[in-house]
Amino acid sequence: MTVSVRFAPSPTGRLHIGNIRTAVLNWLFAHRSGGSFMLRLDDTDRSRSTEAFAEAIRADLKWLGLVWDREARQSDRMARYDEVAEQLKKAGRLYPCFESEDELERRRARQRARGLPPIYDRAALKLTPDEIAQRIAAGEKPHWRFLLANTEPSRGLTPLPTLVTWHDVVRGEQTVDIGSLSDPVLIRADGTPLYTFTSIVDDIDFAITHIIRGEDHVTNSAVQIQLFEALDAEPPTFAHHSLLIGADGQALSKRLGDLSVESLREEGLEPLAVLCHAALLGTSEAVAPYATLDELAARLDLSKLSRAPGRFDIAELRALNARLLHMLPLDAVAEHLDTLGLDVSAELWDAVRGNIETLGDVRTWLEVVNGPLAPRIEDANLCATAAGLLPPEPWNAETWGALTAAVREATGIKGRQLFHPLRLALTARDAGPELRALLPLIGRERVEARLKGNAA
């Protein structure tokens, strides 16, 4: 079997960290299995779906490096959904209903008052073909419900077993009692199909083998399994991963605008850091940086995903981003540096990467190296002595040690009293990369000027 998965966002908003978790788990699973990753735009909500959001989704996935093998959008497949709907109608599994939402709510209220579950009572099944035709001729537009297979219509709705059971890769054996569910509406009164219906038709037509999605869809799976079976299709394998919560233990739903891919990108975070964090949260694997998606895919095992919610903390993502940059060679970040307009040598990158949190921080150290920089003079006499002891160029990694040894011998000053004033004069900062690496990059002319208190 060739693995085939899909990521199916609705183009009604920007991708956020919760979407990313689903997308990367699907992509990594397909990549590790040698399978295919499909982008499917679930855009049947015509009032909210926009091409601008569709383009933004594509751009976000490309930035993350989650390249898809094929793409489809549901708005292009309406004729196919109509065809399958007719098939279900002829089989007696899709039936018309005429109740308004107000009428349904009144029925539910009465059921709750009697201590009964507020599920649809299937009153529409009692309508005769002539009654249905008369109501449609009178201008009433029905919505269409899928008849769950917990009764046998040909024998007067005789009860059948109501338990639907399947094996979930993440959650193990799952059982849902569909007797506790209403027959779901698959087609609205205006003729537009709902997600529950369209996604199953798509999964069948595109031969999806694994459905990897959030655990909020677990109950939906029972209905969808029955839909697969009603269409004579083998249900895919399901894997429902845990959802993310904030560091405070609360749902992220109110903060998703701040946690969009767009906002993470604008903050300067690396795509790989975002993906590593999203994929490894709530697993038995430590959340750690990996240099490539191949390395990350090798660590993925859906069966190791915890059922407990993953706790997302933006501060931890920022720290992970820094750890990733500290380990990456220049060629891994060169393209990103170029987009930032930063011309960085291998020597500068090796000198400063251990002291940055985002690539944008490199700009600070480029300015320190290239100037002009106004020095901060804490001990003028010490700095003047150092300026007089500067060796001729060329300089290398040993120059800083030789210089400080000479200054220490000349002044008797050592430790922080020696190093801190020199760092302030040379970088105007209290901390940063090792000066043994920075000194040759700054160069003798600028070093001398700064030690003498001059901007350079």
**Per-residue pLDDT tens digits for 4-20:** 999 999 999 999 998 99
pLDDT value at residue 155: 45
Average pLDDT over residues 155-179: 81
In this predicted structure, the answer to whether residue 161 has a pLDDT above a threshold of 80 is no
pLDDT value at residue 122: 92
Contacts with 223 (C-beta within 8 Å, 6 or more apart), sequence order: 146, 148, 178, 181, 184, 196
Contacts with 153 (C-beta within 8 Å, 6 or more apart), sequence order: 92, 125, 147
> pLDDT higher for 249 or 145?
145
Q: Pick from 368, 404, 362, 369: which is nearest to 386 by CA?
A: 404
In this predicted structure, the answer to whether residue 427 has a pLDDT above a threshold of 90 is yes
DSSP class of 305: B
Q: Where are the alpha helices (DSSP H) in 281-375?
A: 293-299, 314-327, 330-339, 346-352, 362-370
pTM: 0.89
Average pLDDT over residues 312-321: 95
pLDDT value at residue 257: 62
Average pLDDT over residues 219-247: 93
% of the chain with per-residue pLDDT over 90: 82
The Cα 153–Cα 191 span in angstroms is 25
CA angle 18, 221, 309 (to 5 degrees): 35
For 112, counting Cβ atoms within 10 Å of its Cβ (0-12 exposed, 13-18 middle, 19+ buried), the class is: exposed
In this predicted structure, the answer to whether residue 116 has a pLDDT above a threshold of 50 is yes
pLDDT value at residue 330: 96
Average pLDDT over residues 169-183: 92
The one-letter code for the residue type at 233 is A
% of the chain with per-residue pLDDT over 70: 96
CATH of 77-198, picked from 3.90.800.10, 2.40.50.140, 2.40.40.20, 3.40.630.30, is 3.90.800.10
In this predicted structure, the answer to whether residue 255 has a pLDDT above a threshold of 60 is no
* Per-residue pLDDT tens over the stretch 68-107: 999 999 999 999 999 999 999 999 999 999 999 999 999 9
At 156, the pLDDT band (50, 70, 90 cuts) reads low
Average pLDDT over residues 172-194: 93
Average pLDDT over residues 43-55: 90
Average pLDDT over residues 277-281: 93
pLDDT value at residue 157: 52
Q: What is the CATH number of domain 4-68+199-244?
A: 3.40.50.620
Taking phi over 0 as left and psi of -120 to 50 as alpha, with beta for the rest, 68 belongs to beta
At 289, the pLDDT band (50, 70, 90 cuts) reads very high
- For the chain, give every domain's residue range: 4-68+199-244, 77-198, 246-327, 330-369, 371-451
Q: Identify the three-state secondary structure at position 190.
A: coil
In this predicted structure, the answer to whether residue 153 has a pLDDT above a threshold of 60 is no
In this predicted structure, the answer to whether residue 1 has a pLDDT above a threshold of 80 is no
CATH 1.10.10.350 matches 371-451: yes
Q: End-to-end alpha-carbon separation of the chain, Å?
A: 66
In this predicted structure, the answer to whether residue 167 has a pLDDT above a threshold of 80 is yes
CATH 1.10.1160.10 matches 246-327: yes
> pLDDT higher for 113 or 150?
113
In this predicted structure, the answer to whether residue 358 has a pLDDT above a threshold of 50 is yes
DSSP E strands in 8-110: the ranges are 36-41, 70-73, 94-97
pLDDT mean across residues, the chain: 93
pLDDT value at residue 250: 77
